[in-house]
Amino acid sequence: MARRRLQVFYEGRVQGVGFRYTARRTAAGFEVTGIIRNLADGRVELIAEGEREELIEFQQAIRDAGLSAHIRNEKENWTDTKDEFKGFEIVG
């Protein structure tokens, strides 16, 4: 299967609640690489690469890790992978 790139913008009360750290910890259980960061407008941006089904399961696992209560909206974009990540990191 082809690898894909998933970009998600999370809106809601997603900063100051451990969102990035929970997502990074969750990523350890999946075959994904990428980054997660806070944005100046209060959103959190996730960029992850991996097999499409793995990314879908990872995205659901983030919600299931107790973060769904903080998410008001998710905007996702699927594109071709750029193979630029070595692991999964918090970058901002």
Q: Would you call 4 a catalytic residue per the annotation? A: no
Closest CA to 80 of 56, 58, 43, 49: 49
Q: Would you call 38 a catalytic residue per the annotation? A: yes
Of these residues, 3, 24, 37, 38, which one is catalytic?
38
**Whole-angstrom distance, CA of residue 26 vs CA of residue 20:** 10
Closest CA to 63 of 76, 51, 52, 50: 76
Half-sphere exposure of 21 (CA within 13 A, CB side): 4
Q: Which residues are catalytic?
A: 20, 38
